[in-house]
Structures are given as C-alpha cells and as structure tokens.
Structure 1
Amino acid sequence: MRGRDDEWTDLMRSANAGDGVAYRRLLMAVAPVLRAGARRGLVRAGQPVDQAEDIVQDILLAVHLKRHTWDPSAPFAPWLFAIARNKLIDALRRRGRRVFVNIDDFAETIPSEQAQETLPAGEVTRHLEALPQRQREVLQSIAVDSVSIKDTARKLSMSEGAVRVALHRGLSALAAKMRSV
C-alpha cells in the first residue's frame, strides 16, 4: 500500500517535470493537511484560527516559489512541513508572539522512515572545525545555539545577508564533507 508521502513525492516529481495536472493534484492534496496544521498551531499558541487560511496561502506560495530547491531523491513531506512550520512561526511573530512550533503539528501521522546511520558527534565537530571561521561561527550561532539570523548578524558584526550567505555556504560545505565520509 502506497503512503500519502510516497504519493505526494511522486506528484511533486511529476510537477517539477512540467506536469500541471500533477501539480494541481498535489496542491489539492496538501492544502487540507496544511490548513489543519495551521489551525492546530494557532490554537496551541493561544491565537484565533482566523489566520489559518492566510498561513496556508503563504505556505503554498513558498512551495511554488521554492519548488526548484526540493531534492527529488528525498521525500516531499518533510520539506513541505519545514516550510509550513516556518510560515506559521512567521505569522505568529507578526502578531508579536515568539513561540516554538513543533513540526508534528503538520506531520499528522506520516510514518517516519527508518533513521539513517548518523556520524558520531566527534566526527561532526571535526568537520565543523574544518570550515572557515566565519561559516563555523554562523553555523554554531544559528544551528547549535538557535540564535536568529538578525541576532547572529548583530553579534558577529555582519549584515543579515552576509549571515545567510555564510550559513548557506557552511551548510553546503558541511553536507559535502559528510557525504564524502
């Protein structure tokens, strides 16, 4: 039996290959799940659910604009739910609330894949230490210490754009090093 994530992944692959019907089917399939997740996230944050549809539209727009960044060899749902989580957080921040939103708000009951073997922490640290100092500092601040891009920029006396570039380059370099292991 094919799972929902497999179906979504296949639809996204077809959509990215130019199949407009598959793209419409994908958007119609994910919208109710995103809507339910947005409502749950708003309720958990003590906010009225009247903003849920705006959040769903923001998510779908982001998916459309960023769909070329999705890795077709990876499952679609985790990529979608990461976007959804970020859009919900953005909406809550616009309302002046700073909250943590669990990705499980969107994942519903998608079965997780078997976890792949990870590298020991010492090896990850070794790879981090091999990065240029600025990239290492930005990765440490954002990925490890959970500091925002804005606060990282202020802390490191960098522009937010420079922080984003260093983060992207650092993550890309780290991923390349870890793939070669």
Structure 2
Amino acid sequence: MEGKGETDLAGLLNAALRGDEHAYAEFLRRAAGLVRRFAQRRITHGGIDPEDVVQETLLAVHLKRHTWRTDAPVGPWLFAIARFKLIDAFRKAGRSIEIVMEDGFDAPAPEPEESASEREIGRALASLPPREREVVSAISVDGLEIGDAARALNMTEVAVRVALHRGLARIARNFGQG
C-alpha cells in the first residue's frame, strides 16, 4: 500500500483521531477491506474464518489507535496488527504459521522504516533489567498470553504481570512517555 491510498488512509485516521466520526467509519471500512484481502490470501484451509481475523484486527486497531505515529505510514502499522491477529487465529486453531512481513502489504514497507522500528524495539528492550526484558519481549514482541509467558519463564502469573507493568513503565519513562 503506497501513494494516494496510503495518504488517504492516513488522512482519515488523522481526522478520526481529532474526533471526526465519519472519517473513522470510512477508515475502518477501508481497513477492513485491506485486512480481509490479507487474511483471505493466507487462510487456505478450513477452520479459520477470515472475518474473525478482520474483526479482531479492527478491535485491536480501535483499542490501539493512539499508538499510531501520525508521521508514520498507516499500512505497516495496520498490517502488523493484522499479522499478529492472524497468528493468534492459527494458534487458537492449533496450527503453526510463519508470515513474511512483506507478504502482508500491497507494496513492501520501505526498508528504513522497518529497520528503525526494529532498532527502537531493541533499544527499548535493552534498557530493561534482564527479567523485565524477558517478560516484555515474551508478551509484547512474541505475543504470548500472560499464562503462557509465566509457564515459559517459570514464573507465576502475578510475577509476570508485575514485571510487565514495571518494564513498560520503565520504557515509557526512558523514552519520554511517562
């Protein structure tokens, strides 16, 4: 996704973030179409409904719309969310999947954007003590649920929640968000 489509989508999301309900409805309609095509291309066998992936993605977009940086393209942000929701759907169905990121876009994201994001994530994780780093990475990067992370890290769920909260708070402080 690039050019006018990207610009239009970014304009709609910007207007939505400023409170324009009509722009938000149009943004969600267009985003749903993009995610639907993304999911349909990757779900080649029964057991997983592409519409479930679309709805889960739109819900996550709604809940996380404040995380989109207005100076960044919308496409990579949207498809990253869709990718995680698709992986979650395959996990719930008891299947394994590997999705190459550039396959999720009508056009690949520019390499510097992706590299910068990876560097930012690495820098944020590196700022944490080892245990907090493990927990934040397991949940926020790898997408594990609290219970799964607790088992993988040999911790209680309460300890995982505390470490996650402390790690995210530390990242927010270190990077000017809190």
Global fold match (TM > 0.5):
yes
Deviation at 1:101, TM superposition (A): 2.4
Using structure 2 for the length normalisation, give the TM-score.
Answer: 0.72
Structure 1 match to 2:58: 60
Instruction: Give the deviation of 1:78 after TM superposition.
Output: 1.9
Q: Which amino acid aligns with 1:157?
A: M
**Could you tell which deviates more after superposition, 133-142 or 150-159?**
133-142
Letter paired with 1:78: P
Aligned residue identity for 1:8: L
- Counterparts of 1:96 and 1:117, CA distance in 2: 31
Q: What RMSD, in angstroms, separates the aligned Cα atoms of the two structures? A: 3.5
Matches within 5 A, 1:70-81: 70-81=68-79
SS at match of 1:73: coil
Structure 2 gap ranges (5+): none
Q: Name the aligned partner's letter for residue 42 of structure 1.
A: I
Secondary structure (helix, strand or coil) at the match of 2:110 reads coil
Deviations 1:152-181 (A, max 9, x none): 31223131x6535534653564576478xx
Question: 1:158 aligns to what?
Answer: 156
Q: Which residue is 1:92 aligned to?
A: 90
- Look up the equivalent residue of 2:62 and give its one-letter code: H
- Pick which of 80-89 and 92-101 moved more: 92-101
- Secondary structure in structure 2 of the residue aligned to 1:96: coil
Q: Residue in 1 aligned with 2:144?
A: 148
Q: Specify whether residues 50 and 95 from structure 1 end up closer, same or farther in structure 2 by C-alpha distance, changes over 3 A only.
A: closer
Shift of residue 17, structure 1, vs aligned partner: 0.7
Distance in 2 between the 1:19 and 1:143 partners? 30
Amino acid in the other structure paired with 2:59: L
Tell me the matched-pair count.
169
Q: TM-score, normalised by structure 1?
A: 0.71
Unaligned runs of 5+ in 1: none
Q: Which residue identity is paired with 1:148?
A: L
For residues 138 and 23 of structure 1, do their structure 2 counterparts lie closer, same or farther at Cα, with a shift above 3 Å needed?
same
